[in-house]
A and B are shown apart, each in its own frame.
Chain A
Amino acid sequence: MKKILTLQEAVADVQDGDTVALGGNVLHRAPMAFVREMARQKKKELKLVKTAGAHDIDLLCALDCVQSVEAGFVSYETKYGLAPHYRKAVESGKVTVNEHACYTVICALRAAAMNVPFMPVKGLCAGDLLVKNDYFVVVEDPFGGEPVTLVKAIVPDVAIIHVHECDQHGNARIYGPRFEDVLMTRAAKKVILTTEQIVPRSRMKLQAEYIDIPGFLVDAIVHVPQGASPCSCYKKYDIDDQALRSYLAMQNRDEIESYLKRYERKDYAGERMAVWV
């Protein structure tokens, strides 16, 4: 089976209504090229999962691709302020927020990785999140002791992770912070990588013990240099301040559609480069 796909092919694999885990954290190494293509293909009713999201979740909310968001935090960082389209979508009732505590997203993914229906979580024992969200339940400890909060497993249909490099089998390495990405690849039914570069297998094997995601877990690979831009990718590029600012100034849908269009050439560039085999 062919693992290296074009961006369009890989995105076509995502179904409307899927639970999609997005790699990275806030404005760092978000799989933006994949996110943009999901928006271009007008995916609907996606259930997004991430501990802390920003531009990825906001862009998908702006173009009505989202049904719900499971996250502990959604905002651009201090310098860029709140996520305006996410905010609007939630306030108008179009998007449901299942607010987590970051750690509860991690625990829900850990449950999925172990294929158990829920995970006990320490710490979450006060406040309205317990009451308002129906995926938290407080139960008696069957072994005696204090009551314990459970969080329901989140099994992503697909995890989308942007990596620095991988070989044609998907053996992948992330440089710098991995955030929740490695866990997501263990929790999801399907794993799609977008990668800065595809390198020969022999090179990846030289340091096989430093591979973060083994190829046998990976379903598809897309070659997208600068696939996280305008978010940052450690040691490759920093955030694109101008692009973020221009996006955040946009008010209407047409402007955002044209913003997507501007990235097409860049997002599809990897296919033309055919560096693998």
Chain B
Amino acid sequence: MRTSYSVSDIMTCALARMLKDGETVFHGVSSHLPMVAIQLAKHMQAPNLVHLNIPGGVNPSSLKKASYSSAGADLVTGAEAYFPLDEVFDLSMRGKLDVAFLGGVQFDVHGNVNASVIGDYRQPKVRLPGGAGSAVLIPTAKKIILWRTKHDKRTFVERVDFVTTRGNLWKIVTPLCIFEFRHGKLHLDSIHPTSSLEEVRANTGFELLYDEIKYTPPPSKRELDVLKKIDPYEYRALEFQLNR
């Protein structure tokens, strides 16, 4: 039987597989994909992972009520302890935050991230939401995983309009592929089974760097089963619904 899955499933599984048992992992606001991925990892290879978030619920037991928000009190209700945002930041400053999931709107091959403006900073053509914690977390957390549900030439650009932050990236997961940041540049790490090298190339504004072509393994039956259980309302697909 052929198992069916969506791009949001691939992205969630790819994000989840990057996490190791015992790691301290943080996600912020507007972050449904990583929120679900962290819980998926806890149900798969990383039962002792520590899930941290903005409202401060350490290891929330369920996401089923998270609904529209990845920063809501529901993450505190079924949690095992309270560890608020200021302390999560402090933890990262001490070098004890293992992984942070962050977003962005534009990225370039040098690992510059823009979440601030399109155009001039003082008179922007588009004012974006802002980098939230990324300007302090990207330099201090041990591993930075970025995700973006759009992959086009306006997202992966030759040069970002504004550098909200840069450096210390690890992976970027998109609907088409995964990039890895190595020796100061973004390299194509793997292509999702639903995409192709041609598609990634046609939608990326800089020249692709890669040594070999690898494909992201598709979600396993077990991963899909767990996803169905922990995220029955498919909050992981919320960002895609908005892109349409």
Interface residues of chain A, those whose CB is within 8 Å of chain B, are: 25-28, 51-52, 71-75, 77-83, 86-87, 90-91, 93, 96-97, 99-104, 106, 121-129, 132, 176-180, 183, 232, 234-235, 238-239, 241
Residue contact B29 to A101, C-beta cutoff 8 Å: no
How far is the CB of A69 from the nearest CB of chain B, in Å? 9
Q: Does B123 contact A (CB under 8 A)?
A: yes
Q: In whole angstroms, what is the CA distance A209 to B26 when docked?
A: 29
In the assembled complex, the CB of A241 is this many whole angstroms from the nearest CB of chain B, namely: 8
| Closest CB pairs A-B (n = 3) | A123-B136, A75-B129, A177-B55
- Tell me if B155 is interfacial: C-beta within 8 Å of chain A: no
Which chain A residues lie closer than 8 Å to B54 at the CB level? 25, 52, 177, 179
Bound CA–CA A96/B117 (angstroms): 13
Is B93's beta carbon under 8 Å from chain A?
Answer: yes
Q: Which segment, of B39-47, B158-166, B215-223, faces chain A?
A: B158-166
The answer to whether B70 and A77 touch across the interface, beta carbons within 8 angstroms, is: yes
Are A122 and B30 in touch, CB under 8 angstroms? Answer: no
Q: A72-B133, A102-B133, A106-B86 are in contact. Are A26 and B71 (CB under 8 A)?
A: yes
* In-complex Cβ contact of A28 among B72, B84, B89 (8 A): B72
CB <8 Å contact, A239 and B68: yes
Q: How far is the CB of B241 from chain A (nearest CB, A)?
A: 8
Inter-chain contacts of B2 with A (CB < 8 A): none
Known interface pairs A75-B30, A86-B127, A87-B126. Does A127 touch B140 (Cβ–Cβ under 8 Å)? no
Grouping DSSP codes into helix (H, G, I), strand (E, B) and loop, the A interface class, with mixed when no group exceeds half, is: loop
Min distance, Cβ B105 to any Cβ of chain A, angstroms: 11
**B 110-135 to A, binary, CB cutoff 8 A, 1 in contact else 0:** 00000010000111111111111111
User: Which residues on the A side are within 8 Å of B116 (C-beta)?
Assistant: 99, 128-129
B132 near A73 with CB under 8 A, answer yes
Known: A79-B68, A132-B121. A103 touches B136 (CB 8 A): yes
Of A73, A129, A178, A180, most B-chain CB atoms within 10 Å:
A73
* Of the residues B30, B85, B140, B242, contact of A123 by C-beta under 8 Å: B140
Q: Which residues of B contact A (CB under 8 A)?
A: 28-30, 32, 54-57, 67-73, 76-77, 82, 84-86, 89, 92-93, 116, 121-137, 139-140, 162-167, 238-239, 242
Smallest CB separation, B191 vs chain A (Å)? 26
Contact A124 B136 (CB under 8 A): yes
**CB <8 Å contact, B55 and A28:** yes
Indicate if the CB atoms of B29 and A77 lie closer than 8 Å: yes
* B30 CB → nearest A CB, Å: 5
- Assembly CA distance A125 to B126 (angstroms): 25
B-chain residues with CB within 8 Å of residue A124 when the two chains form the complex: 135-136, 139
Choose among B71, B77, B163 the residue that contacts A25 (Cβ–Cβ < 8 A): B71
A183 touches B86 (CB 8 A): yes
* B134 contacts A101, C-beta separation under 8 Å: yes
Closest to B124 in A: A91
CB distance from A62 to the nearest CB of B (A): 14
Residues of B within 8 A of A100 (CB): 130
CA distance A121 to B93 in the complex (A): 9
